[in-house]
Amino acid sequence: MPRPAKGPRLGGGPAHERLLLANLATALITHKSIKTTETKAKRLQPLADRLVTFAKRGDLHARRRVMQIVTDKTAVHELFTEVAPLVAERPGGYTRITKVGFRKGDNAPMAVIELVLEPVSPKRPASTKSAPAAAAPAAAEETAESDVPVEETETVEHSEETPAEEQTEAAAEVETDAAEVAEDDKK
């Protein structure tokens, strides 16, 4: 009795599905980003993440496990030497799926699956849940004020006219209004 696979079926049988996913994984490793159907991208994501996890281990057994799926030696070498060091600090989530619309011919939903090679940014520590809700914004304001260095600058209240510049009535009104506002601010 055939055993059903998790998720949607790709292709005819399980052997065809394995080959299809292996070819997609090889293309993803080689090109770092591929455009395919959403269904294939969703089926490829756990496989690609598992391959990158093996590459992060970097030992001979991990390389042989990857070679069972990806038979292209240049792609495996690229995975172990180029991709694995870039994602060394990343704890998971090595791929990203982005929906890009529908295919013109058969209106199939398309997606771009790509390797996430950007450096991981550390998360801020979560605030304690026992603190009152009003104290949390105040604490956030204090940390925001203390973290950012503030540079004080001198304000210029009046600028001298250049000889080539003629003052019009509108310009004179604007300057007098600005002077009045500056006097009001001082009080």
- CATH code of residue 62: 3.90.1030.10
Domain assignment present for residue 88? The answer is yes
Domain ranges, residue 56: 14-115
Separation CA 30–CA 71 (nearest Å): 12
Domain assignment present for residue 46? The answer is yes
Structure tokens at 173: 């009104």
Q: How do residues 175-186 score in pLDDT, each as one tens digit?
A: 888 888 877 777
Domain assignment present for residue 126? The answer is no
Q: How do residues 28-79 score in pLDDT, each as one tens digit?
A: 999 999 999 999 999 999 999 999 999 999 999 999 999 999 999 999 999 9
| Residue pair 66/76 in contact by the 8 Å Cβ criterion | yes
Q: Where does 58-157 have alpha helices with state H?
A: 60-69, 73-78, 84-86, 135-147
Residue 39, number of CB atoms within 10 A of its CB: 15
Q: Residue 61: its pLDDT value, please? A: 97
Residue 24, number of CB atoms within 10 A of its CB: 20
Domain assignment present for residue 103? The answer is yes
Q: How do residues 93-109 score in pLDDT, each as one tens digit?
A: 999 999 999 999 999 99
Task: Provide the number of structural domains found in the chain.
Answer: 1
